[in-house]
Amino acid sequence: MLRVRVEDLRPNMRLARPVPLPTNPTRYLLQRDVCVSDEMRRRLAELGISEVWIRCDELEFLETVVDAELGERQREIYSCIRRNFERFMRLADAKLDFESFRSSLSNLFDYLKNNTTGICFLDRVQVFDDYLLTHSTNVGYLAMLLGMKLDWYLIKERKSLPPGKAKEVISLGLGCLLHDVGKMRISKEILDKPSRLTPDEMDEIRKHPSIGYEMVKGEIPLVASQVVLHHHQRWDGKGYPRMLNSQTGEPLDVLAGDKIPIFGRIATICDVFDAATSKRVYSDAKPSVQVLCEMLRYNAGCFDPVVQKAFYEIVPAFPIGTVVTLTNGFVAAVVDFDPKHPCQPRVKPIRYPDGEPCRYPDNREIDLSTVDLTIHFQGDVDVRPFLFEVAEAAGTPRDESRLSVSSPVLA
Ligand SMILES: [Fe+2]
Ligand SMILES: [Fe+2]
């Protein structure tokens, strides 16, 4: 099966996975094996669905790599968050049902613990009918995955706890699921404003971590509520909110480095990545490779280096199943992720430059790290400027002439 952008769907392409209804992801809008008509393609786009999995006989093994159960667990969380947030917006006295969040996160954790493909970010919830819901779900999932990868670091950074407790990631997932809950108290006009925000509007948005913290404080474990408060702090101290002395109201020192709770540091990088790879009212979704590259080149110092290194080991620059065009014009599908060569994955050619299906031996898999060939396009984006090296992801100093003062990801 292949991951195909909805705008690239062609008649007669058959769905490899059912497409869930955005408003109720436990039900399906389209069933597996349906051939997608033009009318269906328009409907999918209207509903904000960005990608679907389609059948490709030679890539059926991806069915087992990108396991359908992962999608089910993610949708369970999405539905839970949707139910809760909608009730909360509708009813003035509604309370968030934190226990239901915890239980759906536990199900996801059990799945991740037992899955056979190792810790790797494989798939995300792919809808855009409500950014806050999908973003919260994706950040919760990604942060739990990263927390599992960093279990040794959690033990080191949470020394006051016994190791078994220190590496427990459900509270991390819970905090991340709720990290932007304060945005429900910020006006929609500001949140969805398509043009540049005024300084006053920016100040308003920057209140959401503190507002969210007040909403969840005492209802969820302290470490989870700290994620809500601190997910916009930066390792170099350039984040917010500025902390105040609770007695005097005086500003305290800037929160930076390992003074930021470790769960907050994990949430930060997952939040930035998911926001930049998601479609927004004011911007299109960027490919993962572009965002990972920009985070390295323009956001140096924002993230805990240990967390950042682990992040690049679990998040593929080219998600498995992505269709790309190589520099020789062949169209190919990405079939694996090797953190040692993030931008030179193994690919399987599927079409010649003239659009004809590839035949043996041209359809044999190619390890791009061993040949003089690179990925040229993902969709219509020329990704060559974003192909980064693993040394950069591991924090090796870069050529300074490539650094820019602007910050395209965090801006
Ligand atoms: Fe936020
Ligand atoms: Fe966020």
Q: What is the pLDDT of residues 150-192, one digit of tens each?
A: 999 999 999 999 999 999 999 999 999 999 999 999 998 999 8
Which amino acid does the sequence have at 26? T
CA distance 138 to 140: 5
Residue 353, pLDDT score: 95
SS3 per residue for 210-248: HHHHHHHCCCCCHHHHHHHHHCCCCCCCCCCCCCECCCC
Distance 138 CA to ligand 2 centre (A): 10
Are 31 and 347 within 8 A, CB to CB? no
Distance 353 CA to ligand 2 centre (A): 40
Distance 262 CA to ligand 1 centre (A): 17
Please name the residues in contact with 135: beta carbons below 8 A apart, sequence gap of 6 or more.
Answer: 180, 274, 275, 278
Distance 239 CA to ligand 1 centre (A): 11
pLDDT digits (tens, 9 = 90+) for 248-257: 777 677 799 9
pLDDT digits (tens, 9 = 90+) for 69-112: 788 888 888 888 888 888 887 777 778 888 888 888 888 888 88
Residue 362, pLDDT score: 92
* Among the bound ligands, the one closest to the CA of 211: 1
Distance 21 CA to ligand 2 centre (A): 23
Distance 250 CA to ligand 2 centre (A): 27
> What percent of the chain shows pLDDT beyond 70?
93
Distance 185 CA to ligand 1 centre (A): 12
Q: What angle do the packed helices 131-149 and 68-90 form, to 10 degrees?
A: 130
* Residue position matching structure tokens 């997932």: 173
CA distance 247 to 158: 27
The domains of the chain, with CATH numbers, are 2-55 (3.90.105.10), 68-285 (1.10.3210.10)
Q: With a cut of 50, say whether residue 400 has pLDDT above it.
A: no
pLDDT band for position 49 (50/70/90)?
A: confident
Query: Measuring CA to CA, which residue among 232, 342, 235 is closest to residue 291?
Result: 342
Which one has a higher pLDDT value, 369 or 86?
369
Distance of CA 39 to CAs 6, 36, 50, Å? 12, 8, 15
Which one has a higher pLDDT value, 309 or 111?
309
Distance 272 CA to ligand 1 centre (A): 9
Query: What is the separation of C-alpha 118 from the centre of its chain, rounded to a whole number of angstroms?
Result: 17
- Does pTM top 0.85 for this prediction? yes
Distance 214 CA to ligand 1 centre (A): 14
Distance 179 CA to ligand 2 centre (A): 6
Are 135 and 180 within 8 A, CB to CB? yes
Distance 388 CA to ligand 2 centre (A): 25
pLDDT digits (tens, 9 = 90+) for 132-144: 888 999 999 999 9
The whole-number average pLDDT for the span 55-65 is 81
The whole-number average pLDDT for the span 220-239 is 95
The whole-number average pLDDT for the span 258-280 is 94
Query: Measuring CA to CA, which residue among 30, 14, 33 is closest to residue 22?
Result: 30
* Among the bound ligands, the one closest to the CA of 210: 1
Distance 140 CA to ligand 2 centre (A): 10
Distance 402 CA to ligand 2 centre (A): 28
Distance 137 CA to ligand 1 centre (A): 13
